[in-house]
Structure 1
Amino acid sequence: MELDEALGSLVQEARELLTQMEAALLEIEEYGVDDERINAVFRAAHTIKGSAGLFALDLIVDFTHVMESVLVQVRNGELALDGELSALLLGCGDYLAGLIGALEEGDSSHDPAPETRAELLASLSRYLRIATPDCETEPAAEAAALSPAAASEGWQIRLQPSPDLLRMGMDPLSFILYLERYGQLQQVQTHYHELPPLADMEPETCYLSFDITLRTEADSDTVLGAFEFIADDCQIDIMPLLAPESIDAAEPAVAQPLAATDAAPPAVLAPTAGNPPAANPAAPRLRATDRPEQALIKIEARKLDQLIDAVGEMVIATAGTRVLAARGSDGELREALAELELVVERIRDRALELRMTPIGDVFQRFPRVVRDVSKELGKKIELVISGAETELDKSMVEKLSDPLLHIVRNALDHGIEPTSERLAAGKPEHGRLQLNAYHESGSIVVEISDDGRGLNKSRIFAKAVEKGLIAEDAQLSDEEIFNLIFAAGFSTAEQVTDISGRGVGMDVVRQNISQLRGSIQISSQTGVGSTFRIQLPLTLAIIDGFQVMVGDSSFILPLELVEECLDVSDRRQDSQVVALRGEPLPLIELAEAFGLQTQPGARQSVVVVRYGKRRAGIVVDRFIGEMQAVIKPLGQLLRSVRGLGGSTILGDGSVALILDVPSLLQRFSRHPAVTDTPSGG
């Protein structure tokens, strides 16, 4: 493992641990203290400290050591984890996140917030039984509770690493040097035995064992904790450091197997001749082959993107091969190609599944947001999350986070009323904010709902007239009025706050969602609340499509949005609606929408599409059929054309445009049949 890769693993692991710590602290605030939640907070701080110690990241190690000292007292029942301490630990997590961010950017020695560090350490030291005299000094005495055995001068440690320890990226020397944090390393004796001939030696095989003399007041559990990340792959014996003649008679304390991690620097320790330490037959010993197979592995995002790109090229190449095979008369070739296409389709589906991640990765940041904002506003707000297991393309996760944050903060600030106003209106004193996600029609839907005052239509209308966005006598539907809030700089806030009301944000929301080939709809009722409904495609890479032609131009529609195909050659040319099983179906002329010439005498064919509650028929010249489309970005000239979502390369090498069906339906949404069609079709 390269050093950069190991640091990358540390950064990722630390962020996951900070998220777990924050979730546990929020649960403690909401549901109360229990051992499991306290242990989750302690494990996060302890593991981050241990991982950072392997890389000599003293800024992180020293800070988390003080945190750990306080948490030791909490675990021992000597200190109550109340709201004030919980808020302090949340602040510590934010500070550590800043250090991790600096580490990711390549700066491991600079503190981005030294004043914050000093304030947090001073606050933590007040919780210690012995106050920390210096913010940069480790309170080791507070972190290590003494056991009866620790009344001796220290410990004699025998460390027998697994031969595969170096191969797994672990360096025994780093763990040994880490012991200096607990006391003085008086002696380290290195031994080897059963060395193979020089020609047969493996550079990544560990042939060494160690006898370590540590003078410390720390207890045996604390000392063993230094080897937490390699305990599964080592035999560790620890005995009190007594007089030399009594060491052999001392009863060894056997290390219990602990959790392992893969974050370690790639140093290799050179062997020194000596006698091997005596093995303790009672001590448990694990070999690398005894470890259970890992259920999860971590893959760098860049490599996954490269895999998806390669699969996309394979799909295009297969389509080209199919075109060539269709020109010949070799039946066996066409049959073999059909089998190949099935295999390629399975590979495509499995590759796309690798990109899918639960939307809970986005939702997990909002309990903290709701907590902080509600405290700042003096409101009582309950957050309800459902559908967190719903999966979406990983490339959407980060891009979706900011739009959701804007909507949530606006709902907290403007939507949900203060407690006194809610009680006067006969509502519960606790406001309710709900995040929900689910799959629908081949898409993912994310809803943000609140039970607040709702959007004020008259105020939105008046503000839009004032800004010149609409005429004073304009006749708009409720949905069109609500959509006015997405105009750049639009705001009805009477007071600018740090939370919202600056006239920016909602236009960015719609822009970001449009870049994800999604749409956003608003429904609101005065005094009842509002719901923002975001609909997104499941993937941005490869889709199943349905190819159609208008004149000489090819278009691709996402197959999951296609309901059926019709022949309506007998309709009147001026008719924009046809009857479909007794219900009106509005028609969208694709040639008219993009200014194309249709083929003379071409029949009128219609593809019925549905997106959410909207349905319409798209009029084309002819159908081509189903295909797999690798989505490519549009060029600069076509990027601003409404109704186009991308392009793809066909098997014959020509280019087809992928239709943005939600945008097309929104463009023709003034027709009531488009917006109010029953879901049953």
Structure 2
Amino acid sequence: MMEHHDALTSLVQEARELLTQMEAALLEIEEYGVDDERINAVFRAAHTIKGSAGLFALDLIVDFTHVMESVLVQVRNGELALDGELSALLLGCGDYLAGLINVLEEGDSEHDPAPETRTELLAALGQLLETATPVPAALPGNGLGAADSGEEASAAQEGTGTGWQILLQPSPDLLRMGMDPLSFILYLERLGRLQQVATQFQMLPSLQELDPERCYLSFSLQLLTSASRESVLQAFEFIIDDCDITLTALPPDSTCQVQEVSLPPAVGRDNAGLVPRPVGMPSQRATDRPEQTLIKIEARKLDQLIDAVGEMVIATAGTRVLAARGSDGELREALAELELVVERIRDRALELRMTPIGDVFQRFPRVVRDVSKELGKKIELVISGAETELDKSMVEKLSDPLLHIVRNALDHGIEPTSERLAAGKPEHGRLQLNAYHESGSIVVEISDDGRGLNKSRIFAKAVEKGLIAEDAQLSDEEIFNLIFAAGFSTAEQVTDISGRGVGMDVVRQNISQLRGSIQISSQAGMGSTFRIQLPLTLAIIDGFQVLIGGSSFILPLDMVEECVDVSGRLDENHVVSLRGEPLPIIDLEAVFDLQWQHDGRQSLVVVRYGQRRAGILVDRFVGEMQAVIKPLGQLLQGVRGLGGFTILGDGQVALILDVPLLVRQQTAAASHLRVGQCLEQQEPKHRA
């Protein structure tokens, strides 16, 4: 029972990956045109989902993908053109299948969440099958290899040139996977002329024992064609992993039948000698292909590994404390080597949880396509930095905030075509998603070249809502931050797609829960940029330990710039001049109601987050350490400025400072504006 559940889980995951690949191929076809590779990607997705679903008798999926596959066969055969209308239809089919997969994941394999949609899609697909007519063979997608031309295909049809002797032995489970080897054999006729087709039964049981879903046939084919080995193998690319195929070149100008090849009975799938091949002639079989280098691991198991590594880090720190109390130099040396090994294990374990942010970005080409069509706008999406990695646990939580910002940019940021042309802009709007690493964190930027945020309208709406005084003097950044207030919106007309500002408080809340921050820059008539900065991981960090009021605190090491002595250099406004530049000071005595224990000396840790710098007053520096981040308990959840806690080597608890929040609070406090207090009230209380 458990194995069946695990197999279904794998099917769901694989189906979603295939649907994503199919969607990407269809969007590329719409933008760049049709070619064999993209058509094959769509076909491969449909037939693989059908085959996998067939193993579990998931009739809703199998029956639907069978009709899709029939249409795609017509496309590959050149009898249907994959135009914009068909591409949109196939995208709709992918959406419907995604709905079936979602229901399947919930344990329901018989419920159709959208029966009316299914009926409409099947009717549209059926109409295409009825009206399919041949199109010129030279069109992309006719099944020819990339190097084959229409003249070569014509020559192949006449039977001139050389040919291939093909030995094909399908897997016994091929039919059960939803594939018919005969359709692929008949497809070879587009490459040339089938001179011979011989078959042999393998291990044919009695009629009572015969399994109608088991393939008992092997095939010997003679194909007269000028097509290359690669082009012939391409015809079998969708079943090549489930067949043994041997290709032998025929002598030039072969026009007569060759002697039938006698294929030995099969004795099992693991028999490496099922199909004989002539000496010296290569064959294409599963054992010839390189071993798979990627494996799928449940996220739960990765979390367990990270937890175990975290406990190992804590235990090592405790051992270091004990070793420091003694005088055994060899023990301390051995422990230092052990710590290096633990650090490498920690880094490798964290790397396992890292995934490219492209997993998030890949959904947006479809979003931009659908929204721009709905709005009648022409919008170009540019993606860069998709290979930038971040913690997998953050990917899913980042998706919704990004989606909301993107939809806002499409709806209200980028102007209609007529408005852009009147303003002297290109008719195509530009939306850019970019990601990169910066100072131990990941930065995600969403930029558009639209009309920009209207500062005066935002200011007026904030006054109307009582967020700020009418005579308040705000910087541009402070005005833009007003859109994060709950329910704040300047949209004159709320649409079904979005309303710039509506729900932005939720966006900021979600990002804050990831220990991140969001900043806005905008220029009227030029566009806007939303800059999201996040930590690379939520599990283990390199930290810098300090003492404040007798309590230990941890700062993320990648945010620490330097440590300085500022005794007697602080003014009454808690600002220090550091190399001629004013530096605001964060007084944790006031933040956490602590009692200083310094003897006239005051030390400062200079931290940077994004473009902001501040200094944190401390009693004493302890040094660098590895900190396993643990969530705060209920008692401390409401304390602002804390991002979690960790266990020190001596067993004591050290609180981890939320440096981004502390820096933002200091900036707001320095402005002495009411807006700072209003916006901070929008922050979530739970931070872990």
Same fold, TM-score > 0.5, yes or no:
yes
* 1:199-226 superposed Cα distances (whole Å, 9 cap, x missing partner): xxxxxxxxxx984499xxxxx9999789
Tell me, yes or no, if the aligned pair for 2:543 and 2:625 is still in contact at 8 Å.
Answer: yes
AA matched with 1:63: F
Distance in 1, Cα, partners of 2:469 & 2:360: 39
Shift in Å at residue 556 of structure 1? Answer: 0.4
Distance verdict in 2 for CA 1:453–1:323, change over 3 Å: same
Distance verdict in 2 for CA 1:86–1:180, change over 3 Å: closer
Tell me, yes or no, if the aligned pair for 1:555 and 1:658 is still in contact at 8 Å.
Answer: yes
Shift in Å at residue 235 of structure 1? Answer: 7.0
User: 2:567 is matched with which residue?
Assistant: 569
Distance verdict in 2 for CA 1:159–1:288, change over 3 Å: closer
User: 1:669 is matched with which residue?
Assistant: 667
Tell me, yes or no, if the aligned pair for 1:413 and 1:499 is still in contact at 8 Å.
Answer: yes
Q: Are 1:436 and 2:449 matched, yes or no?
A: no
Tell me, yes or no, if the aligned pair for 2:441 and 2:536 is still in contact at 8 Å.
Answer: yes
Tell me, yes or no, if the aligned pair for 2:643 and 2:658 is still in contact at 8 Å.
Answer: yes
Pairing of 1:508-519 with structure 2 (within 5 A):
508-519=506-517
Distance in 2, Cα, partners of 1:426 & 1:63: 48
User: 1:521 is matched with which residue?
Assistant: 519
- Tell which deviates more after alignment, 514-523 or 70-79: 70-79
TM-score, normalisation: structure 1:
0.80
Give the secondary-structure state (helix, strand or coil) at the position aligned to 2:442: strand
- Tell which deviates more after alignment, 535-544 or 496-505: 496-505
1:490 equivalent among 469, 478, 488? 488
Give the secondary-structure state (helix, strand or coil) at the position aligned to 1:379: coil
* 1:560-606 superposed Cα distances (whole Å, 9 cap, x missing partner): 11111101113246252222222222211122221111115252010
TM-score, normalisation: structure 2:
0.79
* 1:259-279 superposed Cα distances (whole Å, 9 cap, x missing partner): xxxxxxxxxx999xxxx9985
Tell me, yes or no, if the aligned pair for 2:200 and 2:263 is still in contact at 8 Å.
Answer: no
- Tell which deviates more after alignment, 514-523 or 420-429: 420-429
AA matched with 2:345: I
Distance verdict in 2 for CA 1:53–1:587, change over 3 Å: same
Shift in Å at residue 293 of structure 1? Answer: 2.7
Distance in 2, Cα, partners of 1:181 & 1:112: 33
User: 1:611 is matched with which residue?
Assistant: 609
User: 2:140 is matched with which residue?
Assistant: none
Distance in 2, Cα, partners of 1:17 & 1:569: 63
Shift in Å at residue 414 of structure 1? Answer: 0.9
User: 2:367 is matched with which residue?
Assistant: 369
* 1:143-191 superposed Cα distances (whole Å, 9 cap, x missing partner): xxxx99xxxxxxxx99587xxxxxxxxxx457458578989xx998638
Distance in 1, Cα, partners of 2:450 & 2:570: 48
Shift in Å at residue 336 of structure 1? Answer: 0.8
Shift in Å at residue 55 of structure 1? Answer: 2.2
Pairing of 1:33-432 with structure 2 (within 5 A):
33-129=34-130, 172-173=172-173, 175=175, 190=203, 211-212=216-217, 228-231=240-243, 234=244, 250=260, 280-282=276-278, 291-432=289-430
Shift in Å at residue 474 of structure 1? Answer: 2.1
Distance in 2, Cα, partners of 1:437 & 1:393: 14
Give the secondary-structure state (helix, strand or coil) at the position aligned to 2:608: strand
Tell me, yes or no, if the aligned pair for 1:235 and 1:284 is still in contact at 8 Å.
Answer: no
Give the secondary-structure state (helix, strand or coil) at the position aligned to 2:377: coil
User: 2:146 is matched with which residue?
Assistant: none
Tell me, yes or no, if the aligned pair for 1:383 and 1:434 is still in contact at 8 Å.
Answer: yes
Distance verdict in 2 for CA 1:228–1:61, change over 3 Å: farther
- Tell which deviates more after alignment, 372-381 or 574-583: 574-583
Pairing of 1:508-657 with structure 2 (within 5 A):
508-572=506-570, 574-601=572-599, 603-657=601-655
AA matched with 1:483: N
Distance in 1, Cα, partners of 2:178 & 2:598: 82
Tell me, yes or no, if the aligned pair for 2:218 and 2:263 is still in contact at 8 Å.
Answer: no
AA matched with 2:503: G
Tell me, yes or no, if the aligned pair for 1:453 and 1:527 is still in contact at 8 Å.
Answer: yes
* 1:597-654 superposed Cα distances (whole Å, 9 cap, x missing partner): 1115252010111111101111100000000000001122322322211111111111
Distance in 2, Cα, partners of 1:253 & 1:496: 70
- Tell which deviates more after alignment, 278-287 or 23-32: 278-287
Shift in Å at residue 70 of structure 1? Answer: 1.2
Distance verdict in 2 for CA 1:177–1:462, change over 3 Å: closer
Distance verdict in 2 for CA 1:453–1:277, change over 3 Å: closer
Distance verdict in 2 for CA 1:277–1:417, change over 3 Å: closer
Give the secondary-structure state (helix, strand or coil) at the position aligned to 1:668: helix
* 1:521-560 superposed Cα distances (whole Å, 9 cap, x missing partner): 0111111111100000011100000000101111100001
Distance in 2, Cα, partners of 1:577 & 1:93: 59
Distance in 1, Cα, partners of 2:329 & 2:234: 73
Distance in 2, Cα, partners of 1:177 & 1:466: 64
Tell me, yes or no, if the aligned pair for 1:602 and 1:621 is still in contact at 8 Å.
Answer: no
Tell me, yes or no, if the aligned pair for 2:412 and 2:500 is still in contact at 8 Å.
Answer: no
Distance in 2, Cα, partners of 1:492 & 1:286: 63
AA matched with 1:469: L
Give the secondary-structure state (helix, strand or coil) at the position aligned to 2:553: strand
AA matched with 1:612: G
Distance verdict in 2 for CA 1:180–1:670, change over 3 Å: closer
Give the secondary-structure state (helix, strand or coil) at the position aligned to 2:25: helix
* 1:401-452 superposed Cα distances (whole Å, 9 cap, x missing partner): 0000000011111111111111111111111111111111111000111111
Tell me, yes or no, if the aligned pair for 1:211 and 1:277 is still in contact at 8 Å.
Answer: no
Distance in 2, Cα, partners of 1:56 & 1:180: 17
AA matched with 2:453: L
Distance verdict in 2 for CA 1:226–1:560, change over 3 Å: closer
Question: What is the root-mean-square deviation of aligned Cα atoms in Å?
Answer: 3.4
Of all paired residues, the percent bearing the same amino acid is: 79
Shift in Å at residue 112 of structure 1? Answer: 1.3
- Tell which deviates more after alignment, 481-490 or 288-297: 288-297
Distance in 2, Cα, partners of 1:278 & 1:581: 79
Distance verdict in 2 for CA 1:130–1:449, change over 3 Å: closer
Shift in Å at residue 481 of structure 1? Answer: 1.2
AA matched with 2:203: T
Tell me, yes or no, if the aligned pair for 1:586 and 1:671 is still in contact at 8 Å.
Answer: no
Tell me, yes or no, if the aligned pair for 1:188 and 1:210 is still in contact at 8 Å.
Answer: no
- Tell which deviates more after alignment, 301-310 or 632-641: 632-641
Distance in 2, Cα, partners of 1:18 & 1:476: 48
AA matched with 1:99: L
Distance in 1, Cα, partners of 2:437 & 2:459: 33
Give the secondary-structure state (helix, strand or coil) at the position aligned to 1:608: strand
Distance in 2, Cα, partners of 1:158 & 1:39: 21
Give the secondary-structure state (helix, strand or coil) at the position aligned to 1:498: coil
* 1:80-113 superposed Cα distances (whole Å, 9 cap, x missing partner): 1111111001001111111111121111222111
Distance in 1, Cα, partners of 2:610 & 2:304: 32
Distance in 1, Cα, partners of 2:492 & 2:412: 10
Distance verdict in 2 for CA 1:284–1:57, change over 3 Å: farther
Shift in Å at residue 286 of structure 1? Answer: 7.8
AA matched with 1:431: G
User: 2:17 is matched with which residue?
Assistant: 16
Tell me, yes or no, if the aligned pair for 2:169 and 2:218 is still in contact at 8 Å.
Answer: no
Give the secondary-structure state (helix, strand or coil) at the position aligned to 1:128: helix
Count of residue pairs the alignment pairs up: 591
Structure 2: runs of 5+ lacking an equivalent: 133-155, 158-166, 184-198, 206-213, 220-231, 248-256, 673-688
AA matched with 2:469: A
